[in-house]
Amino acid sequence: MIKLYIDWISQPSRAVKAVLDILKVPHEVKALKIQFDEHKSPEFTAIHPLQQLPVLQDGDFTVAESHNIMKYIIKQRNISTNLYPLSDIRQQTRIDQYLDYHHTNTRKCLHLYHSVLISPLKGEKVIPEVLEKEKQDVAKVFSYFENNWLKGRNYICGDQVTLADISACSEMLQLDMIKFDFQKYPITNAWLNRVIRIPEVYQAHNVAFKVIKKQNPSSQFLK
């Protein structure tokens, strides 16, 4: 049986978990806690020396990087899915275009979340100029979603949900933990509500919702 190493609080981990569930690929979840350095244990380091989650083990084959894991499963099992249609090179390329953009753009949401929620908990100093830059970076990402990725479309790559939406949703929803004002971006907000309401995506966020409930009890995303 495939093993999936994740931390429920990690955005790319949740995205991969949701994708495996949507595709109904049987797997065993190995939940680690980054907070307690469980990803730095000798056992996990032997599996993935970069000490990052998520990681998938398919027999003797180890796969890292969330987008790579999602695509590996679809390709290896020849799964027919609109999440990443193997028969449509143009749609694959559109999806890949977003997935590449994600790493150096949408992923910046993490920095703001970290400075606002995690740094104070750890007693780390937050430099005001850095925080301001992080806010600007996130605003740029949301504006780009509003005016480009989602312009005239229900989902990032057209009228059907793809890997792009699931990866992006998991990353952006993390900002709900710091009471980010999603309503400022109505198109993006409506899209986020569509994607998070996919049952498997919602379920993969159960642990994240526990944090949201505590930090932001009036969140629109809580059931």
Ligand X SMILES: N[C@@H](CCC(=O)N[C@@H](CS)C(=O)NCC(=O)O)C(=O)O
Interface with ligand X (CB under 6 A): 10-12, 34, 39, 51-54, 65-66, 103
Question: What minimum distance in Å lies between the beta carbon of 79 and ligand X?
Answer: 20
Query: Measured from the CB atom, is 92 or 167 closer to ligand X?
Result: 167
Question: What minimum distance in Å lies between the beta carbon of 52 and ligand X?
Answer: 3
Q: How far lies 131's CA from each of 50, 69, 82, 119, 185, in Å?
A: 27, 32, 38, 11, 20
Question: What minimum distance in Å lies between the beta carbon of 105 and ligand X?
Answer: 13
Q: Residues 51, 43: contact at Cβ < 8 Å?
A: no
Query: Measured from the CB atom, is 45 or 147 closer to ligand X?
Result: 45
Question: What minimum distance in Å lies between the beta carbon of 147 and ligand X?
Answer: 25
Question: What minimum distance in Å lies between the beta carbon of 34 and ligand X?
Answer: 5
Query: Measured from the CB atom, is 107 or 153 closer to ligand X?
Result: 107
Q: How far, in Å, CA of 122 to CA of 156, rounded?
A: 35
